[in-house]
Structures are given as structure tokens and as C-alpha cells.
Amino acid sequence: MSILEESLSLSRRVTIVDVARLADVSTATVDRVLNGRSGVKTGTIKRVMKAAAELGYVDESDERARDVRPLSPVSFILPEGSNRYIARLGRMVTEMAPQLERFSIKPTVEYIPSFNPDLLARTLHRHAKTADGIAFMAIEHPIVREAVNRIAAMGKPVATLISDVASPGRVAYFGLENRAAGRMAGYLLARFIGKRPAKVAMIAGSLSYRAHGEREMGFLDLLQELYPDIHVVGLREGKDDEGLNYRQMRALLTQHPDLDGIYNIGGGASGISRALKDARRDQDIVFVGHGLTSDTRELLLDGTMDAVITQSAEDTIVKCASLFRDLREGRKLDTPPDPMRVEVIFRENLP
């Protein structure tokens, strides 16, 4: 123990001033390092953490006192468009960037046109040149699967968000167990309608999303098993676009004026609700959808929507960042992460 350390231990508790003096930096720099904020050189971070450990300000076994590496660039690639849940997820990645530094992650977000597997594959390859990891909402397509496999062969981890891809190269999927989510939607719709013959329809974003296809299968399975008197009279694709969803819902109402329920498998809930309100059917057609956002919250409050199935955007981001940190630090994944928890939101339990 140095004379400085010994005198400190005998006289008073170690402070940030003592760490700054020993590391020969300002107290502001020490504060930035100890709180995991950016803007400090790697060498300075190491010197500060070494001084803090020597003085007992942090324990030597503390993860922060170990060899500190620069932040790892991680790319989040999401579809652009009017899917408000996806837009909210992207905004949260950006807003949470300072918090993600504690995972040694520096995130960037890029939005690309939806439903274009060629463009998605090219974007994945472009980000693989500079990023240490990639998280993206997948399209189920051979070109996308091959891109993931090639990037994985480079030693770059790739994770999927919201919708998965059947690729052995991806390291993890952070989304719902979508077949179960579809079954949940069928159960909710049937329970709200009641025990009587009824007609219901579905609007998907795109069945090129594996998530949407699995939700459709779960929905149909549940109704066939438990509610055979409820007939599904149509499945339309709305590309998660509010304007197209409006037109699809108006067409369904024209073709089936006695429609009892609608399941919105993807985004664009506001377009469906506008069609229901224009037809004055917003209070008698059961409406179940996905993704808690500002618009679906309002639709729950005014009674247009009956239930929203969702997953926590914040938990999705944190679990994804934690995975990339663990992989970077050499921790092996013994088992894949569990699917995200299915949350069902009604008007009465709005968070």
C-alpha cells in the first residue's frame, strides 16, 4: 500500500477526488468513467479504473475494474413505414443509447423499405463490414437466410427482432412465440363475441414475415379446435400501411356486412379503426390487434379496440444488448433466449 493509500485508509473514506488525483485526471473524467458515459479514451478509462480499484473505491472483482474495451458498434435494421410499434422500437434504441453503454454497446438504427428481401440482404452485408453485431426484423426468404449465414461465418453475431428467419446462423430471436400469440388472439376474439355463430376476418402486414404467418396459423388452429361456429371469411394483406388497411377493412365490411370480429395481425391499426368508425361499426365489431402504441392506446380507451397483444420494446432492446455483450466477452449460449413474454392489454389494465 502506498503512503497516499495508507493515509487515506486511516483518516477518511476514499472519494472521487482521491481517484482523480491518483489517476491524474479531473473529477469530471472520473465521474464519466464510473458512470459508463462516453467521450473518454480507452487508456484513460483503464487508468481511472486501476486507480479506483487500488484505492478501494471499487472492488477489484467489480466488472468495471477489469480491462475496459471501446464501445462495440451494433446495428439495428428495421422496416420503415407506418407501423408505429416498429417506429417506437427504433426511437427507443436511439433514446436508450446512453444506457446501452453499460453493455459496451454503441447502437445505430437504419430504416429500410419494407418487404424487400434483396434490399434487406444487401443492407445486412453492408452493416457487417463495420458493425460487431446486427439485430434486425427478418423477412423469411432464401436470400435473407443466406445473408445471415454468411455474416455468421465471418464471426459476426446476428439476432432477429419481432419476426424470425429460419437460419442456423442467427444467434437469437427476440420476439413472441407467435403461434401462441395467434392462439391468444383467437381466444380473445371468441370470448368477446360469445357462444354463437359468427364471422371474423384477418388483416396481416405481410405473410413474408414469419411472425405474421405463425400468428395466422395459431389463430385458425384455436378457432377450429374450440370455436367451430366462428367462421373466418377472409385474410387480406395491408403491408402495415394505415391507408391500405383502411381500404381492406372497408372492402371486408362491404363484402361481409354481418362481420363480427377483426384480427389485425400486424400494424396500421388506425386505418382499420377509421374504416370501422366511418361505417359506424366501431362499437359492435370485436377488434383485437398487436403492438401497444399511442394510437392503439387511444383505440382501447374509446372502445374501438378490445385487446392489444404486445411485447415490451424496452425489454427487447435490453435483452438484445445483453446478448451482444455476453458474446463479446466470450460467454457461450447454452440455450437460446426464451421468447419474449406475451402481454395482453385491455382498457382496464393500460400501463
| Pick from 170, 38, 167: nearest CA to 104 | 38
pTM of the model: 0.81
| pLDDT given at position 30 | 87
List the domain range (segments joined by +) for residue 123: 72-175+313-340
182 domain residue, yes or no: yes
Mean pLDDT throughout 192-201? 96
Residues 124, 61, single domain; the answer is: no
The cell for 246 is: 383502411
- Same-domain status, 152 and 265: no
Q: Is the pLDDT assigned to residue 265 strictly greater than 80?
A: yes
**Residue 48 has what pLDDT?**
84
| pLDDT greater at residue 153 or residue 2 | 153
Q: How many domains does the chain have?
A: 3
Residue 214's CATH number: 3.40.50.2300
- Residues 59, 109 share a domain: no
pLDDT digits (tens, 9 = 90+) for 106-163: 999 999 999 999 999 999 999 999 999 999 999 999 999 999 999 999 999 999 999 9
Mean of pLDDT over the chain? 91
pLDDT, tens digit (0-9, with 9 covering 90-100), for 37-78: 777 877 788 788 878 877 878 765 555 555 555 789 999 999
d(CA 158, CA 141): 16
In this structure, the answer to whether residues 169 and 215 fall within a common structural domain is no
- Which ranges constitute the DSSP H helices of the chain? 3-11, 16-23, 27-34, 42-54, 84-95, 97-100, 117-128, 142-153, 178-193, 210-226, 242-255, 269-278, 294-301, 313-328
- Give a yes or no: residue 88 inside a domain: yes
In this structure, are 191 and 289 located in the same domain?
yes
The pLDDT assigned to 60 comes to 53
pLDDT for the residue numbered 351: 94
